[in-house]
Structure 1
């Protein structure tokens, strides 16, 4: 397993995974999830997704009726092995480790900062002090400014009139604005993606939605984040328009953070979400693209109403006690 200086992140990820598969460290049937691998390699999900797609094309992994990939070639009836890869670990040789560590410092902390910021804004307005953020991650102020600049580009933070970095608040109106953008962007993306969608992934998603809708397993609601992410990845982000994909991802950040946080607070999800998504996917699988796009608009309208209703409950919940140390609540 060798890497070259300046090697692209997805090449590094592919090299590491391919070597671990070849050496038997990742057993046949093991379920590989992008997020877990990204955490272990300290990179974002995009290069890991690219690496898994490349490994799939080479017959080393394959998709199945669930989220992620299975180790091994398709068509052999391999049963999923749902052991957490983080418990198994990845063997990373010195060359790959050096290549990973040579990435720009801001990339190594960006995902964590993004998650911290997105998870608190539903509770109010927070200030990010550059020196405290730098101290928290033991990085330079230059690195911190790079991170904050990218968060600003994605709409998660801004500078106020005093040039302080501010995150939030995420109000009912801002949620409406984000869902308004979703209604404009996502049906268009779905329409343009129809011919590009991975049919096997679409059928697997449909089977999963049908099973959840029929059986109502106890974990169906706790799995909602993963389910909706799978829907977005499969049906929306398959659009060939790269700029549209970027706009959708950026707009989804605070929305996803809000729905995830509401679930973690114990607020119940709504099983009608599964039915709505199932109808969209079913229409897509039948080639009824226009009807699928219209159904997705209906789903977004209903999802907005559900989110607003839950945010009214959050309004009476105290601030979270586990906010990152570098985030300071600003009194309204």
Structure 2
């Protein structure tokens, strides 16, 4: 029995998977509640970032619905929006200067995380109770003005599609990405295209070869083992450094989100699962005083990005595998809540070693499949 409460039973249901996209430019990453579930981490080419009091990065990136949910999550965790306060879709859209569609998706995401409860005919209310909530039944009522969210930078709008294409092709062989063709394909400047490439270079997804070409090396079993070895050696140590500064309240929030996700496993979607992975493998480590250690870990995030897209695209990941991974997350959090950083580090190492095995097993199942078509900006490297 876990010290913070019961863990939902295993739910060995069928795998869910993402619908493959045809090669091309400007196609959005289509995901739904029943499609695109992954067991990977936060999937963006972003460095480890400083966090605010709520543990979230101050710089908001990603799809608009994720940016709205991030902002709401911080307001709730900081107490600016209190337990019992009501949130209406139309008011959220107005406050953040977005359409109702991302506002609706953001509220649904927070509902699945357990931060909100649905009230028939009255939108959502913040979970928990507060004697002050009756004074401000409408969320945002006590806050000064609105909080418009700026549009995402141009490089970010195409990053997801380029990451997905590069990750899937790197399973079958080394590939070259051409800056000029990338810019032309998406109708952006070469400066924007270069920003995308540099961000993918930072996480080890691609690099420049001796001829100055942007190249993504093949993801071989040997390379995967090497990258995971770096992770299981460094992440537990980084966690030990960070542990004294992690608040118990934040850990309980993370644990509650995990338990809620496990209880509703078939309906969990990619953004939620990505956030849970981000919390364990990025947020909990962000307080590590050894910044060189964190920089070394950045180069291993090719695993997180590739896992995020590739296996759903080709195979799907069984729900029971995702649930098992999240239970391993719970072991780490429970050890931290018990004040046992050493046990938490050991649980994290065991989780990473198990993840390596799952990665390699799925890689073997992908190998015999047909190579996907190349988008215009990618080409195979014959000299690899």
Q: TM-score, normalised by structure 2?
A: 0.58
Structure 1 109/275 Cα, relative in aligned 2: closer, same or farther at 3 Å?
Answer: closer
CA distance 1:284–1:55, shift in 2 (3 Å): closer
Superposition deviation, residue 135 in structure 1: 0.3
The answer (yes or no) to whether the contact 1:160–1:166 under 8 Å persists in 2 is: yes
Q: Corresponding residue for 2:213?
A: 164
Greater mean alpha carbon deviation, residues 117-126 or residues 216-225: 216-225
Kept in 2: contact 1:125–1:329 (CA 8 A): yes
Q: In the alignment, does 2:371 pair up with 1:319?
A: yes
2:62 aligned residue (21, 33, 38)? 38
Q: Is the 8 A contact 2:178 2:214 kept in 1?
A: yes
Partner SS, residue 63 of structure 2: helix
- Name the counterpart of 2:360: 308
Query: Is the 1:128–1:165 contact (alpha carbons within 8 Å) kept by the matching residues of 2?
Result: yes
Alignment RMSD (CA, Å): 4.3
Structure 1 SS opposite 2:244: coil
- 1:200–1:286 CA distance, 2 compared to 1 (3 A): same
State the distance in 2 between where 1:135 and 1:181 align. Answer: 37
Cross-structure match for 1:329: 380
Distance 2:76 2:167 in 1: 32
Q: Distance in 1 between matches of 2:72 and 2:64?
A: 14
SS in 2 for 1:195: helix
Cα distance between partner residues in 1 of 2:257 and 2:110 = 11
Match of 1:229 in 2: 278
Moved more, 144-153 or 165-174: 144-153
Structure with bigger helix share is 1
How far 1:286 sits from its partner (Å)?
0.7
Structure 1 residues 109 and 290, CA gap change in structure 2 (3 angstroms): same
Q: Distance in 2 between matches of 1:145 and 1:50?
A: 29
**Aligned position for 1:57:** 78
Deviation at 1:259, TM superposition (A): 5.1
Consecutive unaligned residues in structure 1, runs of 5 or more: 1-33, 79-90
| Mapping of residues 49-128 of structure 1, within 5 Å | 53=74, 56-57=77-78, 59-60=80-81, 67=113, 75-76=128-129, 106=155, 109-110=158-159, 112-128=161-177
Q: What is the TM-score when the length of structure 1 is the normalising length?
A: 0.66
Distance 1:67 1:191, change over 3 A: farther
Provide Cα deviations, 1:151-186, integer angstroms capped at 9, x if missing partner: 334322122343322113111111112111111221
Paired position in structure 1 for 2:233: 184
Match of 2:266 among 194, 214, 218: 218
Give the 3-state SS of the residue equivalent to 1:328 in structure 2. Answer: strand
1:277 aligns with 2:329: yes
User: In 2, distance between residues paired with 1:246 and 1:114?
Assistant: 20
Distance, in Å, in 2 between the alignment partners of 1:111 and 1:68 is 27
Query: What does the per-residue CA deviation read over 1:1-20, in whole Å, with 9 as the maximum and x for residues that have no partner?
Result: xxxxxxxxxxxxxxxxxxxx
| Per-residue deviation, 1:308 | 0.7
Deviation string 1:213-266 (CA, Å, 9 cap, x unpaired) is 6x5843469775454334324533354555544443442233342254213423
Contact persistence 2:115–2:126 (CA under 8 A) = no
Number of equivalent positions: 278
Counterpart Cα distance in 2 of 1:293 and 1:154: 23
Unaligned runs of 5+ in 2: 1-57, 84-108, 117-123, 134-145
Give the whole-Å Cα distance in 1 for the aligned partners of 2:254 and 2:269: 16
* Counterpart residue number, 2:179: 130
